[in-house]
């Protein structure tokens, strides 16, 4: 029995070390929110699926080692700079849901876009541009920090009149469901502190079993 308990403890500790050493950096996932502009800011044809003031939601993964320090000003950290980005599904790395079936992921980002924006180390939205089709017509979504807008694309060029506009709730205090993320897994995994507590519990159990075996020995 004592060998089983000891084996469980060693295996768990080995798994913890192996997990932390498998990837170049450590990551967290988080959810964010926002809102569409008032009804006049949602124009046809998008007012057929979006309502003024409607909720906006999304999720993203950030690299702990690449998060800028305080007093660093405005900094864009591109998802492509994550050492382990190849192991993070694009919809997990970044998803923005405007509602009405208008959902964008990192896979939709135009070249040169797709970044988390920080302001003095705090979440400040994104830098993201995507071209898409809606009701057989081309449009472009641009997210610049904490604001976003959708414009028509004519002859390959984005226009200046907004069809959709809105804002994101920036600041670290507006991020929710923050949890440790291990590339290649689901977005939510236990915090290291929880795993260590579990390991400590297993170790304590192994110690108790060992003492019991000693006491019962002839």
User: Phi/psi zone of residue 177: left (φ > 0), alpha (ψ -120 to 50 degrees), beta?
Assistant: left
Tens digit of each residue's pLDDT (9 = 90 or more) over 41-72: 999 999 999 999 999 999 999 999 999 999 99
Structure-token match 């939709």, residue found:
108
Query: What pTM does this model have?
Result: 0.78
Q: Is the pLDDT of residue 13 over 80?
A: no
Question: How far apart (Å, rounded) are the C-alpha atoms in residues 39 and 12?
Answer: 55
DSSP annotation of 185 reads S
- Nearest CA-CA partner of 72 in 31, 109, 33, 124: 124
Q: What are the tens digits of pLDDT across the range 126-174?
A: 999 999 999 999 999 999 999 999 999 999 999 999 999 999 999 999 9
DSSP 35-67: EE--GGGS-TTGGGT--TT-EEEEEEEEEGGGS
């Amino acid at each position: 029995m004592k060998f089983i308990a000891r084996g469980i403890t060693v295996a768990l500790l080995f798994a913890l070390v192996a997990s932390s050493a498998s990837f170049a950096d450590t990551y967290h996932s988080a959810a964010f929110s926002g809102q569409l502009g008032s009804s006049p800011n949602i124009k046809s044809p998008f007012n057929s699926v979006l309502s003024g003031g409607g909720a906006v939601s999304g999720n993203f993964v950030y690299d702990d080692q690449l998060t800028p320090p305080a007093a660093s000003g405005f900094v864009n950290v591109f998802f492509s700079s994550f050492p382990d980005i190849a192991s993070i599904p694009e919809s997990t790395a970044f998803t923005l849901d405007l509602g009405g079936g208008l959902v964008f992921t990192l896979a939709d980002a135009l070249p040169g876009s797709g970044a988390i924006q920080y302001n003095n180390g705090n979440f400040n939205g994104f830098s993201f541009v995507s071209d898409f089709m809606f009701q057989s017509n081309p449009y472009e979504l641009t997210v610049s920090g904490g604001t976003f807008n959708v414009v028509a694309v004519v002859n390959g060029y984005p226009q200046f009149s907004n069809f959709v506009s809105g804002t994101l709730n920036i600041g670290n205090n507006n991020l929710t469901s923050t949890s440790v993320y291990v590339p290649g897994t689901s977005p939510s995994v236990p915090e290291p502190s929880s795993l260590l507590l579990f390991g400590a519990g297993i170790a304590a159990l192994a110690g108790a079993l060992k003492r019991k075996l000693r006491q019962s020995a002839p």
